[in-house]
Structure 1
Amino acid sequence: MTAIYSMTGYASLRGSVRDSVAFTLTMKSVNHRFLDLHLRLPSSCDALEVQLRRVLKENLRRGHIEVTLQLERRAVTELQLNTGLLEAYVQAFRTAAELHGVTSEPDLNAMLRIPGMMTTEGVGASEIEGLDAAVLSQIVWLVGKLNEGRAQEGASLAAELRASMLRLQAFSEEMAGLRNGVREAQFERLRSRLMELTQGIAVTEERLLAEAAVLAEKSDIEEEIVRLRTHVDRFVAMLDEGGELGKRLDFLLQELNREANTMLSKTSGAAGENSLRITELGLEMKAEIEKAREQVQNLE
């Protein structure tokens, strides 16, 4: 059996390029009809984005996928002294002191606070060599981690869907057992109605049987029950096969819903305890099918 994946999942990792640069890579997925990739990368990572998209398309099939890359730069800085500017200030100070007969030495603290006297220079802050290779070496592992969580949730969803199909199967079995009672109730209802309309005039049994046959044909739900069972069996068989099931299971649920609607339509005018129970079962079927559709929307 091939694994069944949910489209909801999350995974993250931390890595580094060298001692001065670390990164965090996160991946989050939610349900979507197709594969929808959204990458949030630093502005200098255009080439990396192209390669990441290729890898993700090779390893994922459906879902809205958000990938975020965050950098942590621990930049090493060096303090630079503008010696030429300092010498010029010292020489200017001494020239002015000699010119005005002042005996004093320049204040070094004051000169070091002069704008431009001291500067800092970042090392490795603008270009990060090796980042692309470091991220690409981890991305397949991260997808695998994401799929581990998605597979676990997919297995849980599959178990819930199997339980839904068992309930639908039970509903159809009960409906099948109530069919004959519904037909008998309809026959008696037709007999009473004809007696009322004809005001006591005798109606032949042949005429009554003919009218009952037409009514029974219009209201019989045997074909719908058979098709519903067939769809349920196919649904369970597809769960057993595994793989990419979301769209195919959704189509089957539409067919199941159609059968439930038809059964409700055919039995809406019937009377009797059995007919009321069939209507209740039809409504329960629709609620169960809707619940299953919500689960299927999350499958890849």
Structure 2
Amino acid sequence: LRDLAGLAKRLQEQFGVAPATADGLLSLRGVLDIPETTETEEARAALDSAILSALEVALGGLEQARQGEGAALRSLLSGHIDAIEALTVRAEADPSREPTVIRERIAEQLRLLMDASANLDASRLHMEAAFLATKADIREEIDRLRTHVASGRVLLAGGGAIGRKLDFLAQEFNRESNTLCSKSNAAAVTAIGLELKAVVDQFREQVQNLE
């Protein structure tokens, strides 16, 4: 380009032609020609192969990370189920559930009811006694909690996409723990029910992170 500018200047001085412009010099063939590069099929194939290989490695790492997180989450959920089972066992074994203790508690409640209502007839008394006996019996809740614990362990051991099933199971756990608290007339069992609700809430929160 410098040589062309010098030549143009000499031509201008010698023949009196108009001075050359930068645009004109740059438009001359060969001044800014960039040599063409040719990409062989082998080079292109090698590049494609390298890209695919890198992609496979990245996806493989992502899958391993996902599986690792899933395994850790399943282990955590399994621990929650163990805690639910332990609390269920405690509720079942609580001394307040002894038949003699339940009878004494119902008798005391009936005495209080009779003292409050002097005109309480026998049929009403029988109805109240039956209601109190039903409310004091938490065997169904205990049995259902045990069944749900077993179902949860089967789901976690089976693998696959189990998020929705475990979410439904969490709802069942929550329902039974609520019923346990509402039916119990013993402070110890009520406390167990509240502790159970806290564990179920943790279980349900973790389930939201599972596929």
Q: TM-score, normalised by structure 2?
A: 0.73
Aligned to 1:241: 158
* Conserved 8 A contact 1:228-1:259: yes
1:142, distance to aligned residue in structure 2 (A): 2.9
Instruction: Say which structure is richer in strand.
Output: 1
How much is the aligned-residue C-alpha RMSD, in angstroms? Answer: 3.6
Instruction: Say which structure is richer in helix.
Output: 2
Aligned with residue 148 of structure 1, among 59, 64, 70: 64
The separation in 1 between residues aligned to 2:168 and 2:36, in whole angstroms, is: 59
The unaligned stretches of length 5 or more in structure 1 are 1-81, 101-110
Query: In structure 2, do the counterparts of structure 1 residues 120 and 185 end up closer, same or farther at CA, with 3 Å as the change threshold?
Result: farther
1:94, distance to aligned residue in structure 2 (A): 1.1
Q: Which letter maps to 1:294?
A: E
Query: In structure 2, do the counterparts of structure 1 residues 266 and 161 end up closer, same or farther at CA, with 3 Å as the change threshold?
Result: same
Which structure 2 residues correspond to residues 213-252 of structure 1 after superposition, within 5 A? 213-252=130-169
- 1:283 equivalent to 2:194? Answer yes
Aligned to 1:76: none
Moved more, 231-240 or 190-199: 190-199
* Conserved 8 A contact 1:224-1:259: yes
- 1:173 equivalent to 2:89? Answer yes
* Conserved 8 A contact 1:246-1:299: yes
**Larger Rg computed on CA atoms:** 2
1:280, distance to aligned residue in structure 2 (A): 1.8
Name the SS of the counterpart of 2:26 in structure 1.
Answer: coil
Q: TM-score, normalised by structure 1?
A: 0.53
Kindly provide the CA deviation profile for residues 130-167 of structure 1, in whole angstroms up to 9, marking residues without a partner as x.
55554334434433322222222222222222221111
The separation in 2 between residues aligned to 1:235 and 1:129, in whole angstroms, is: 52
Name the SS of the counterpart of 2:210 in structure 1.
Answer: coil
The separation in 2 between residues aligned to 1:257 and 1:250, in whole angstroms, is: 11
Report the count of equivalent residues: 194
Aligned to 1:42: none
The unaligned stretches of length 5 or more in structure 2 are 38-42
